[in-house]
Chains A and B, each alone.
Chain A
Amino acid sequence: MTNLLEVEGLCVHFAGLDALKDVSLNLAPGQILAVIGPNGAGKTTLFNAISGYVRPSAGQVRLKGHDVAGASPHEIARHGIRRTFQNGGLFPAMTVLENVLTGLHAQTEGSFLDVLLGRRRALESEREMIARARELLSLMQMEKMADMRAADLSGGQQRIVEIIRTVASDPPILLLDEPAVGLSPLARDQMMEIIHRMAGEKGVGILLIEHAVELVMAGADRILVMAAGQRIAEGTPQEIREDRAVLEAYLGHA
């Protein structure tokens, strides 16, 4: 089974700093790989380099075998990778349903002209997408919020909608940047359950940045520890827990 995502010797260098230095990782289908480390360790930079928002100065990124280093974010996304953003990436003035529908963009059929003239192909595809979006919303018990403006939702609800939008197109690879931050414990568990279901049932490979170490220990298959742009350690939660260097520097007093 080929890896979904392969990162080799990734380096990002700007403003005289090594934001990322020689980082490598592999992500297999159905695997949850958590990335942890202190602030400024380069975790989000890693995500940005993989998803195309930052150009790597060296190294390779391969999505399902395709070399994508240096491509633009939307091109990389078309290879089947989706991500969330630390500060939330919802579209505030649009409704929840409209937000989720943008996530189904890749699936929607109909050319510009079809849409313009209101041709059947476009209209039918639109109706299909709306039905699918409503289905996804009801899976998360959010169907009642479909017509609410995203900005009017609570922080936790916004995060859930963002996740729904992100997974709407059934992407094989997910990059989740602190998906549980600001959520109530209940919502957090819900979130982790969603993540596990996607990995287990659909074979989605998930790269997860998370600060809540307990969550990571319990939920991840493997953990990658970063600091100062470099990879410090990688292994199963058990191995990481026992790694002295990691323990001392970053896990604090568990």
Chain B
Amino acid sequence: MMPTQSQLRLRTVLFWLLPVVLLAVPLLVNPYIQFIINSILIYALITLGFNFVIGNLGQLAFANTAFFGIGAYASAIGATSLGLPWLATIPLAGIAGAIGGFLASGAALRGIRFYYLAIITLAFGELMRWLYVHAKSVTGGTDGLSLPRETFLGYSLTDDRVKFYIFLVITVLLFKATLNLLRSQVGRSIMAVRENEVATASLGIPTSRIIVIGFMWSGFVVGCAGSLFALHTSYVFPESFGMLHLIVSFAMVLVGGLGSVLGAVLGAAALTVLPEYLRSFPGMEELFFGLIVIAVLLVLPQGLASLLRRVSPIFIERYYRE
């Protein structure tokens, strides 16, 4: 029930062909749609990172929004206070996110698991939000930070089309890197911890360290997404990183498919459009996304990716590289 050799080759071809095809997008769509597509790329990365922890590692965690905010602020602070070009702030944001991942999950090294660990990540998230507001001198408090207008190689970075190309490259790189990780001993160890931590330890695998690694990679990916977001909206302020973002993230992971890399793209593509429509009425987004999560859990718990897998084995994800 696995993909055949030729299907696997086709899959690799498609993986690289798709971004090439997408290069034509800015020439075909209007600015509003372009903005939405940029949002989709960012959300795909957020969902990818989040999925890594709750899907592949199987640990309930609420720190995703915190990593996103840390990345966005790191990028904004880098661009404003440190005067760095925005592009240079991307790895900075990733590393900041990874550090956040370490802080949020460090308790795992002391043997903390499951609900206790989840609660610490919740506390971590709330602490970060408190920081954004209270560390005024650095983060601009509730007013937030505004990114300076920049150009890159002569192209204006305020142009959504230029942003698209950069976002596309970053997204493809991070997706490929994540796939590399999953299809290796690292990824298998992470999933083994999810399946049966006790047995995993008996194989000589340092499970606590694996958990932290999982969180750190997630933090890196989502942190990078945060820096993209900073440029996307040109403006970073605390409200973007609140509870609402959390339920949206959960919904995207579930709709796409828990643990599925393909699902990250599907979930983001399916749901990104909605926040734009629902934003006008306070409460609608929460209600809507809450209902989506409930519906998916009841009706299609494995997400859209599972539907695609039933259509063709080419969509089945394997965790080794031959």
Contact = CB atoms under 8 A, between A and B. Distances in A.
Check whether chain A touches chain B (CB < 8 angstroms). yes
B188 interface: yes
A232 B133 CA distance: 67
B258 to A, nearest CB: 11
A82 interface: yes
Given A94-B191, A102-B189, A89 B184 contact: no
Contacts of B181: 115-116
B196 A91 contact: yes
Given A89-B196, A123-B321, A101 B185 contact: yes
B297 interface: no
Nearest to A127: B322
Contacts of A53: 198
A165 B200 CA distance: 11
Interface in A12-54: 51-53
A228 interface: no
Contacts of B196: 89-91
B192 interface: yes
B158 interface: no
Interface in A84-102: 85, 89-95, 97-98, 101-102
Contacts of B198: 53, 73, 85, 89
B269 interface: no
B2 A147 contact: yes
**Chain B CB within 10 A, most for which of A74, A127, A147, A169:** A74
A98 B188 contact: yes
Nearest to B319: A98
A82 B195 contact: no
Contact of A126 (B184, B191, B194): B184
A189 to B, nearest CB: 26
B118 interface: no
Contacts of A74: 201-207
A78 interface: yes
B195 A92 contact: yes
Contacts of A231: none
Contacts, number: 110
The size class of the interface chain A forms with chain B is 35 or more
B236 to A, nearest CB: 28
B98 to A, nearest CB: 12
B180 A94 contact: no
A130 B322 contact: yes
A122 interface: yes
Interface string A110-132: 10100111100011001101100
A112 to B, nearest CB: 6
A116 B2 CA distance: 24
A115 B207 contact: no
B284 interface: no
Contacts of A108: 185
B181 to A, nearest CB: 6
A115 B185 contact: yes
Contacts of B188: 94, 98, 101-102, 105
Given A77-B201, A77-B203, A85-B199, A93 B189 contact: no
Contacts of B135: none
A218 interface: no
B142 to A, nearest CB: 38
B203 A165 contact: yes
B21 interface: no
Contacts of B213: 112
A93 B196 CA distance: 10
B205 A105 contact: yes
Contacts of A101: 185, 188, 320
Contacts of A102: 185, 188-189, 192, 200, 203, 205
Contacts of A122: 184
Interface string B165-206: 000000000001100110011101101101110111111111
Interface string B130-162: 000000000000000000000000000000000
A72 interface: yes
A18 to B, nearest CB: 24
A106 interface: yes
A122 to B, nearest CB: 7
Contacts of A148: 1
A93 B202 contact: no
A103 B207 CA distance: 14
Give the 4 A-B CB pairs with smallest separation, nearest first.
Answer: A89-B199, A91-B195, A77-B204, A73-B201
Given A97-B320, A115-B180, 6 more contacts: A53-B198, A73-B202, A77-B204, A90-B199, A102-B188, A115-B186
